[in-house]
């Protein structure tokens, strides 16, 4: 199977994966902040939400001008900001006020660079396979990070973790040479349709909202799934192994779209993937043993990776110039901020089952949004 533009897709995937690192290792990062920086579960969760919220705002501002931006220049400037902010995070871990400021600045830089990378996929044919490669890379890196960080948390520490983030930002900065410099308004031709007009269509709005709630549901459970394993008295090595395999389950999940493309459309695969996530959450709610924890985590890893390329493809089809995928990415980051924040409220007292029930409710809303988006798109066409 030949994948066109493979080298470009790989470069964009590296940049996008690095700029997602605080999300990809989120439960491990929460564990390090709690165990090695003296933060409470709730404070650590809110520090993650601050970074994600800043990313979302940066991405949303970009989506309103995405047709006219030099994506390479944007990524270079914002990655430089992220490097400085992640180094500041390493220096201030445990100092809540300065640390929160540093995480917000890092979020701005990483969020803008992430949108630049993701929007670049839309410039090429075969973008759905590019998204599949991107998601596979995310889950490989996430699995490795979720295994290494909990096992070696005491040696790495909070300072070491954020210093590693800064080094990865530098690698992404080197890779920005592969990003396009042409503005989409000139490259793909101007048809007089503004970014805002595209984003205000019913199908685009519903798909964007669905993406945001989907990410909120996943990040709510993802924030505390490592802590839930600790509460079950599962050894750190077994928790790390479970999260590693759960992330690696994302590889066959994401590969589905690489193999089949859009042969089955987007809605039916999304409903199938979300159903698997709900099964995993129900297993976790009732889990008392390691095998149940392992199985539920694997369901969630497969589902997340399976659904993401189909959601990204749906948004790219709405606007090949990138405004819908840029806005969807931004709003999904709002969801990433909202999920851990709300989960931090309901987890008080160690009620991890409340977090999993929250995720199930959010997935139900996601299904409604995607079903309505598909219906509105059929009506518009």
The average confidence (pLDDT) of the chain is 88
Q: Which residue has the higher pLDDT, 274 or 94?
A: 274
DSSP annotation of 176 reads: G
DSSP annotation of 66 reads: G
pLDDT band at 1 (very low <50, low <70, confident <90, very high): low
Residue-level pLDDT at 160: 94
Q: Which residue has the higher pLDDT, 175 or 323?
A: 175
pLDDT band at 192 (very low <50, low <70, confident <90, very high): very low
Average pLDDT estimate for 85-91: 95
Within 10 Å of residue 351's Cβ, how many Cβ atoms? Answer: 12
pLDDT at 165 over 70: yes
Average pLDDT estimate for 134-141: 90
Instruction: Sketch out the chain's domains with CATH numbers.
Output: 6-180+191-380 (1.20.1250.20)
Residue-level pLDDT at 306: 94
Q: Which residue has the higher pLDDT, 102 or 219?
A: 102
Within 10 Å of residue 210's Cβ, how many Cβ atoms? Answer: 28
Residue-level pLDDT at 261: 67
pLDDT at 210 over 80: yes
φ/ψ of 328, rounded to 5, equals -60, -40
pLDDT at 187 over 60: no
pLDDT band at 381 (very low <50, low <70, confident <90, very high): low
Within 10 Å of residue 162's Cβ, how many Cβ atoms? Answer: 26
Q: Which of 37-41, 254-258, 317-321 has the lowest mean pLDDT?
A: 317-321
Residue-level pLDDT at 183: 67
Average pLDDT estimate for 259-273: 83
Residue-level pLDDT at 185: 55
User: What is the Cβ-side half-sphere exposure of residue 337, based on CA atoms within 13 angstroms?
Assistant: 21
| Torsion over CA: 134, 315, 357, 224 (sign) | positive
Q: 3-state SS string over 275-314?
A: HHHHHHHHHHHCCCCHHHHHHHHHHHHHHHHHHHHHHHHH
For the entire predicted model, the pTM comes to 0.81
Q: How far apart are CA 339 and CA 344, in angstroms?
A: 9
Q: Which of 201, 169, 182, 180 is nearest to 327 (CA)?
A: 201
pLDDT band at 188 (very low <50, low <70, confident <90, very high): very low
Average pLDDT estimate for 145-171: 91
Question: Which pLDDT tens digit goes with each residue over 338-355?
Answer: 888 889 889 888 889 999
User: What is the chain's percent helix, strand, coil content, to nearest 5?
Assistant: 85, 0, 15
Average pLDDT estimate for 180-184: 73
Question: Which pLDDT tens digit goes with each residue over 39-62?
Answer: 888 888 888 889 988 998 998 888
Give me the residue label for tokens 């050894």: 235
Q: How far apart are CA 193 and CA 57, in angstroms?
A: 23
Residue-level pLDDT at 184: 58
Q: Which residue has the higher pLDDT, 238 or 95?
A: 238
Q: How far apart are CA 211 and CA 315, in angstroms?
A: 9
pLDDT at 191 over 50: no
Cα distances from 52 to residues 78, 118, 212, 322, in angstroms, run 15, 16, 12, 21
Residue 75 tokens, joined: 């990524």
């Amino acid at each position: 199977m030949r994948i066109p533009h493979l080298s470009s897709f790989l470069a964009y995937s590296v940049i996008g994966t690095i700029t997602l690192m605080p999300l990809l290792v989120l439960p491990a990062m929460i564990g390090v902040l709690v165990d090695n920086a003296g933060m409470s579960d709730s404070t650590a969760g809110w520090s993650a939400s601050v970074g994600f919220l800043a990313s979302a705002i940066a991405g949303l501002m970009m989506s309103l001008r995405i047709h006219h931006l030099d994506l390479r220049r944007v990524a270079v400037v914002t990655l430089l900001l992220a490097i400085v902010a992640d180094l500041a995070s390493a220096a201030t871990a445990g100092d809540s006020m300065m640390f929160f400021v540093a995480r917000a600045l890092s979020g701005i830089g990483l969020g803008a660079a992430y949108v630049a990378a993701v929007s670049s996929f839309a410039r090429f044919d075969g973008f759905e396979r590019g998204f599949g490669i991107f998601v596979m890379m995310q889950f490989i890196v996430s699995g490795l990070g979720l295994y290494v960080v909990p096992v070696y948390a005491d040696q790495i520490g909070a300072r070491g973790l954020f210093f590693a983030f800064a080094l990865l930002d530098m690698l992404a900065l080197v890779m920005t040479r592969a990003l396009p410099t042409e503005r989409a308004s000139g490259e793909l031709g101007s048809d007089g349709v503004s970014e805002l007009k595209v984003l205000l269509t019913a199908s685009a709005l519903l798909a964007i909202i669905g993406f945001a709630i989907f990410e909120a549901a996943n990040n709510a459970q993802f924030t505390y799934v490592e802590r839930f394993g600790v509460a079950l008295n599962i050894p750190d090595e077994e928790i790390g192994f479970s999260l590693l395999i759960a992330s690696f389950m994302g590889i066959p999940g994401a590969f589905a779209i690489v193999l089949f493309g859009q042969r089955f459309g987007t809605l039916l695969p999304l409903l199938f993937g979300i159903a698997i996530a709900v099964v995993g959450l129900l297993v976790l709610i009732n889990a008392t043993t390691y095998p149940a924890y392992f199985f539920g985590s694997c369901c969630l890893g497969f589902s997340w990776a399976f659904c993401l390329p189909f959601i990204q493809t749906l948004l790219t089809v709405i606007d090949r110039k990138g405004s819908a995928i840029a806005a969807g990415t931004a709003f999904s980051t709002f969801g990433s901020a909202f999920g851990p924040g709300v989960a931090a409220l309901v987890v008080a007292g160690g009620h991890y089952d409340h977090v999993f029930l929250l995720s199930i409710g959010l997935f139900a809303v996601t299904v409604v949004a995607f079903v309505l988006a598909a219906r509105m798109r059929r009506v518009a066409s």
